[in-house]
């Protein structure tokens, strides 16, 4: 765990890195706490699927900021927490309560894309800031010309690009087939999250010459039975399955697949439930060894030397505190998402809003977000930050976000794509020891 001295050292490093923190005019500003709505699924199926690690990561960032005085070292952050309960209608009601009763101008969080789509429209209409840390559907932003909604997180189109690029790069060398002969199945929960990723999976595979999409099928994330889907997959005889889902439906799918004797050469998940490696291991043990997952990188997997100064210290603090609070052996990508996006708001956006635009009202925050310009390596997840401006197709989305492909192996999680930053050579196909391996 970090000492008080290390926290103060980190705070000093942050001050040195940002000239905005020493603007003399700030002395005249009021020192009232900055109240921010924090909206996550703290109960229901989404909580276990990744929302809770996001919420914990966000709170660690808030705690760290407050420990060295708050935003700009003087404005403490007061989180006003709300539980979406894994229900879209509850998320909307809680957002309205935060705005109308708690009088917040900023809502941070949102795990589910099914919640993010209506919330983005609502907060845009109310001219309040929605700072999305997690929900990844491209449809949240695409063609909406949003002014008050921001997401530094990657979006679903990028998942498809990463998975397809990984397969195209390794099909011949690892699987012994040309990309055009590789048989791929795309299965997904049929909400905005799963649908968006599936569309990108298909489009990006075809763009890379992987034309044999032998099955494309969605299902309800709350379904009690996926045996018919498993039967279709057995008939399709796919080499690779691209799967987008949450923890409960992934668990159901893997259990029924093993019972039915489904075999494949590789399974690539797309975040959400596939990021909850501790939960998957608790249920399936070594069965999930060598499965892959596309997601923003868990910060602790990166080489701190490749990042901006102080990022390595931030990563260590986040990892140590998360493990201390949860007892988890591994820190899931969602923790980095919650921490990183909250840190970005508190340490990069709000200082500009206060010092340059006079406060933390929605207009000041909106303008400040558009001013942010962080080069690659400038966040704990490795990517840079520059938001697409109004009038562009993805207005409010970070144009510099990037995912990675990870592989779960016995001694931990490895980055296997992009090749220039990989920490291990990918294992393809699944070894004979896997109960899902083609024999």
Q: Please say whether the beta carbons of 269 and 193 come within 8 A.
A: no
pLDDT single digits (tens) 78-103: 999 999 999 999 999 999 999 999 99
Q: What are the structure tokens assigned to 26, written together?
A: 């700030």
Q: Which is nearest to 278 in space by CA: 408, 381, 85? A: 408
The predicted pLDDT at position 296 comes to 86
Residues 6+ apart with CB under 8 A from 176: none
The predicted pLDDT at position 30 comes to 46
The predicted pLDDT at position 332 comes to 87
The predicted pLDDT at position 12 comes to 33
251 φ/ψ sector (left φ>0, alpha ψ -120 to 50, else beta):
alpha
**Domain 157-295+404-421 fold:** Rossmann fold (3.40.50)
- CATH class, range 4-154+300-371: alpha beta
Residues 6+ apart with CB under 8 A from 382: 297, 299, 302, 306, 307, 376, 402, 421
Question: DSSP letter at 20?
Answer: G
How far CA 302 is from CA of 1, 7, 272, 297, 336, in Å, comes to 20, 21, 20, 8, 12
Q: Beta-carbon neighbour count of residue 410 at 10 Å?
A: 7
The predicted pLDDT at position 374 comes to 96
The predicted pLDDT at position 340 comes to 97
- Record the pTM: 0.79
Alpha helices in 127-238 (DSSP H): 156-170, 192-207, 227-236
How far CA 119 is from CA of 90, 124, 158, 174, 358, in Å, comes to 11, 8, 22, 43, 27
CA distance 304 to 259: 43
Residue with tokens 């492909």: 405
The predicted pLDDT at position 95 comes to 98
CA distance 280 to 300: 20
Q: What are the structure tokens assigned to 85, written together?
A: 């309960």
Looking at the chain, which residues constitute the CATH 3.40.50.2300 domain(s)? 4-154+300-371, 157-295+404-421
Backbone φ and ψ of 107, nearest 5°: -120, 125
Backbone φ and ψ of 232, nearest 5°: -65, -40
The predicted pLDDT at position 359 comes to 96
Residue-wise DSSP of 258-275: HHHT---SEEEE-SGGGG
CA distance 316 to 319: 5
pLDDT beneath 70: ranges in the chain: 1-30
Residues 6+ apart with CB under 8 A from 303: none
Burial class (CB in 10 A: 0-12, 13-18, 19+), 133: buried
């Amino acid at each position: 765990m970090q000492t008080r001295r290390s926290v103060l050292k980190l705070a000093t490093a942050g001050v040195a890195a940002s000239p905005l923190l020493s603007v003399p005019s700030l002395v005249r500003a009021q020192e009232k706490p900055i109240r921010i709505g924090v909206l996550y699924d703290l109960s229901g199926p989404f909580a276990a699927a990744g929302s809770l690690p996001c919420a914990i990561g966000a709170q660690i960032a808030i705690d760290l900021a407050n420990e060295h005085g708050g935003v700009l070292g003087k404005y403490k952050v007061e989180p006003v927490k709300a539980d979406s309960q894994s229900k879209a209608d509850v998320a909307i009601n809680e957002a309205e309560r935060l705005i109308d009763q708690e009088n917040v101008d900023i809502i941070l969080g949102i795990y589910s894309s099914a919640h993010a789509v209506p919330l983005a429209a609502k907060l845009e209409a109310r001219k309040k800031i929605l700072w999305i840390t997690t929900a990844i559907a491209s449809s949240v932003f695409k063609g909406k010309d949003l002014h008050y909604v921001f997401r530094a997180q990657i979006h679903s189109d990028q998942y498809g690009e990463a998975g397809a690029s990984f397969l195209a790069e390794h099909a011949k060398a690892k699987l012994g087939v040309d990309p055009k002969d590789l048989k791929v199945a795309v299965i997904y929960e049929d909400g905005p999250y799963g649908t968006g990723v599936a569309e990108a999976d298909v489009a990006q595979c075809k763009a890379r010459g992987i034309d044999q999409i032998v099955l494309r099928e969605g299902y309800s994330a709350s379904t009690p039975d996926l045996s018919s889907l498993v039967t279709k997959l057995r008939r399709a005889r796919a080499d690779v399955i691209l799967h987008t889902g949450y923890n409960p439906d992934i668990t159901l799918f893997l259990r029924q697949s093993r019972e039915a004797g489904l075999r494949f050469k590789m399974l690539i998940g797309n975040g959400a439930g596939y990021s909850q490696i501790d939960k998957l291991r608790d249920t399936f043990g070594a069965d999930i060894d060598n499965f892959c997952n596309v997601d923003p990188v868990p910060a602790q997997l990166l080489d701190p030397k490749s990042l901006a100064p102080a990022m390595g210290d931030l990563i260590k603090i986040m990892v140590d505190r998360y493990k201390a609070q949860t007892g988890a052996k591994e820190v899931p990508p969602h923790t980095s998402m919650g921490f990183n996006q909250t840190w970005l708001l508190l340490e990069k956006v709000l200082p500009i809003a206060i010092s340059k635009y006079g406060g933390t009202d929605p207009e000041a925050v909106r303008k400040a977000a558009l001013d942010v310009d962080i080069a690659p390596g400038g966040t704990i997840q490795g990517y840079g930050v520059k938001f697409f401006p109004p009038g562009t197709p993805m207005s409010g989305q970070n144009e510099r976000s990037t995912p990675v492909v990870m592989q779960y192996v016995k001694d931990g999680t490895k980055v296997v794509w992009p090749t220039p930053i990989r920490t291990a050579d990918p294992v393809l196909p699944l070894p004979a020891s896997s109960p899902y391996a083609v024999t």
